[in-house]
Structure 1
Amino acid sequence: MSSLRLPAGFADVFSSRFVELNGLRLHAVTGGDGPPLLLISGWPQTWYAWREVMPALARHHTVVAVDSRGCGLSDKPGDGYDAGTLAADLVALMAELGHDRFDVVGHDIGMWTGYALAADHPERVGRLAVVDAIIPGLTPTPSFFTSAAVSQRLWHFGFNRLSDLNEELVRGRERLYFGYQFARKAATPDAIPEYAVDVYVDAIASDPRGLQASFGYYRALDETIAQNEQRKETRLTLPVLAVGGALYSGAQAAGTMRLVADDVTEVVVDDCGHYVAEEQPVRFVEILEGFLGSESTAEVLPG
C-alpha cells in the first residue's frame, strides 16, 4: 500500500494480506475493531474504492475490503465469475479470517455478489447494504429498442459480454475505455480523481489476464441470471439498505431489492453519481453506520 495515495494514518490501521483458498489466492485489506464488515467493490474497481470510508468504519467494525477473484491483486482464473461462485469465495475468505457471520456492503457488481451471499448463505450474513446498481435476473430487462438515455447507461453490458473483440479493442486503450466509465457515471467528469482512475486502470492493464477477468463478470451473466431466477423464489428476511446516487441509479437499487427482500431501507444521496463511497464519503459513512447500528431498518432515511 505504500505506493498508493491514502488517507492520513491509513497504514497505521490497515494491512494488506493474501489468503489462500483451495488454490485461489484472494487479496484483502483489513483493519479495525468490532463486528466484521465485508466491503465488495464494483466494476472496474478494486478494494481501493473504499479507501475514503474505511478509517471511519474501522472505529466500530473489523473491516475487510476485498479484491474479488479477477480484480486487483487477487488471482484471475479463466472462470468462476458467476455470482454464486464469487459469493462462495467470500464466505471461504471470511471463514479463513475467523468471521463466520458478518455484515456485507456491495457496490455495482459487488451488489450482485452481495445479494448472492445473502440468498445462498443466509446463516453467514447479518445485514446487507447495496449501493447504486441493478441486478440481472431480478431487475426487468429493457427492450432491445430502448431509449437513447438508457442505451448510454447500459451499452457496456453488451460490449463487455463479447467473447473476444472487446479485449482486442480495449487492449492498449484501457485508460480511454475505463476512464470513460468513471467520467460518465460520476456526478461530474472529475468527481473520481485522476490518481484513483490510474489505480483502477493499472490494476487491469498491468496484468495480462486483467482484461479477460474484468469482462469475465459480464460473460458469466447467463449463469448469474439463471441463478438469480432461482434465488428470487425465496425472499430475503434480513435487513437490507439500498443506497443510490441521485444523479445515477437513484431509487433503482431499492426498487430492485424490494423485489426480493421484505425489510428494505431506501436512501438516495443528493449531488452524487454512481460512486457513492468516493463521491460522498462522509454522508455514506453516516448512512451506513445508521443502518448497521440501528435496531430497526423499516424507516426510510433522508437522502
Structure 2
Amino acid sequence: MSADDGIAGLGSLRLPDGFTDVFTSRLVEVNGLRLHAVTGGDGPALLLVGGWPQTWYAWREVMPALARRHTVVAVDPRGAGLSDKPDDGYDAGTLAADLVALMTALGHDRFDVAGHDIGTWTAYALAADHPGRVGRLAVLEAVVPGLTPSPPLFGPASVNLKLWQFGFNRLTGLNEELVRGRERVFFGWQFATKAATPTSIPAYAVDVYVDAIAADPRALRASFAYYRALEETIAQNERRARTRLTLPVLAVGGALWSGASAARTMRLAADDVTEVVLDDCGHYPAEEQPERCAGILEDFLAAGR
C-alpha cells in the first residue's frame, strides 16, 4: 500500500477560504485499487463517506470546522470521483474493507466514521464488520437496505418520490442508455427535488458532481453499481443485524426528507442512538446547513474524547 500526495489537485474547485492551507488531495493505492482522499487537520481520525451521486466534495463546508480537532479524511469510495472504477466490489462489505485498508495506509488504526446517504451503508458495514477499528458512528439521512423496512410497491406518492431511484438504478443497461448524454437533467433533478429548495445545492456544486460522472465513461456505470449490488448488501445487513452495535451512534435526518426515520433505522441495529432532526433541511445536511451539521458532529464526537 502506498500514499502519494499532491497527485489530484484542488485548485480548480470552489472551496471555503483557506481550505487548501489545511487539506491535501491524494491518491492512495490499496491492494491494487487507487482511492482518492482529501485529508487535513489534527487530532483523532474522522472518516467521511459521501452519498450518491456525490464525491468527497459534499463535505467541503464542514471539513474546516471538523479539522480543528480531528484529522479529517474525506474519501471518494471506489466508483466515485477520482477513485478507480472497477467492474465489481460495490457491496457494502467490500466497500468497507476498502476504507479500512485506506485508513491503515494513512496510519489510522482507530477512527470515527460519518456517512451520508449510500455512504451510510458503508459506514454501518464498517462499524459492524470492523468493530475494533471504529470508535463512533454518525449517519446522515440513513436508509439502510436490510435494516430499513421495504416500502410497498404501490406506496404513497411522497415515498415513491424519495425512493423511486432504487428500482431504476438497479436496471442493467437501460438506465445507462437513458441517462448518458442527459446527466445534467437526471442528476440535477435529484439535487433540485431532494434538498429543501431547488437551489439549496448551488449550481457550481452540481457541476462538480455531474462533470465527475460525465467526464469518465466508466463513472455512470459505477454510480449505478452500488444499487446493482443491493441484493448482496441486503443479505449482508440482515446478517449484521443479528449482532447489535454497541458503539455510540448519531443519526441525523433532515426534517424535509428523512426526519426521524434515520434514527428509527439505526435503532433496529444499535443500542446507543442519538437522534437529531434538522429543521428546514432536506436530504443534504452537510451542504444545506453546514454550520449546524459540523457543530452536531463535533458535539457527538467530542463526547468520546
Q: Does TM-score exceed 0.5, indicating one fold? A: yes
Superposition RMSD in Å: 0.8
2:88 corresponds to: 79
Please tell me whether residue 294 in structure 1 is matched to residue 300 in structure 2. no
Please tell me whether residue 108 in structure 1 is matched to residue 117 in structure 2. yes
Question: In structure 2, what is the Cα distance between the partners aligned to 1:202 and 1:133?
Answer: 26
Please tell me whether residue 208 in structure 1 is matched to residue 217 in structure 2. yes
Question: In structure 1, what is the Cα distance between the partners aligned to 2:30 and 2:291?
Answer: 34
Please tell me whether residue 262 in structure 1 is matched to residue 259 in structure 2. no
Question: In structure 2, what is the Cα distance between the partners aligned to 1:39 and 1:288?
Answer: 11
| Alignment counterpart, residue 243 of structure 1, candidates 252, 265, 278 | 252
Question: How many angstroms does 1:295 deviate by?
Answer: 4.9
Question: How many angstroms does 1:143 deviate by?
Answer: 1.0
1:27-60 CA distance string (max 9 Å, x none)? 0000000000000000000000000000010000
After TM superposition, the score normalised by the length of structure 2 is: 0.96
Please tell me whether residue 95 in structure 1 is matched to residue 104 in structure 2. yes
| Alignment counterpart, residue 37 of structure 1, candidates 25, 46, 49 | 46
After TM superposition, the score normalised by the length of structure 1 is: 0.97
Please tell me whether residue 130 in structure 1 is matched to residue 139 in structure 2. yes
1:301 corresponds to: none
| Alignment counterpart, residue 229 of structure 1, candidates 228, 238, 260 | 238
Question: How many angstroms does 1:277 deviate by?
Answer: 0.4
Judged with a 3 Å threshold, the aligned counterparts in structure 2 of structure 1 residues 23 and 295 are, in CA distance, closer, same or farther, namely closer
Runs of 4+ deviating beyond 2 Å: none
**Unmatched tracts of structure 1, length 5 or more:** 297-303
1:182 corresponds to: 191
1:300 corresponds to: none
**Match of 1:211, SS?**
helix
1:192 corresponds to: 201
Judged with a 3 Å threshold, the aligned counterparts in structure 2 of structure 1 residues 153 and 98 are, in CA distance, closer, same or farther, namely same
**Unmatched tracts of structure 2, length 5 or more:** 1-9
1:173-217 CA distance string (max 9 Å, x none)? 000000000001000000000000000000111000011000000
Alignment coverage as a number of residue pairs: 296
Q: Is the 8 A contact 2:263 2:275 kept in 1?
A: yes
Question: How many angstroms does 1:133 deviate by?
Answer: 2.2
Question: How many angstroms does 1:144 deviate by?
Answer: 1.0
Question: In structure 2, what is the Cα distance between the partners aligned to 1:279 and 1:295?
Answer: 26
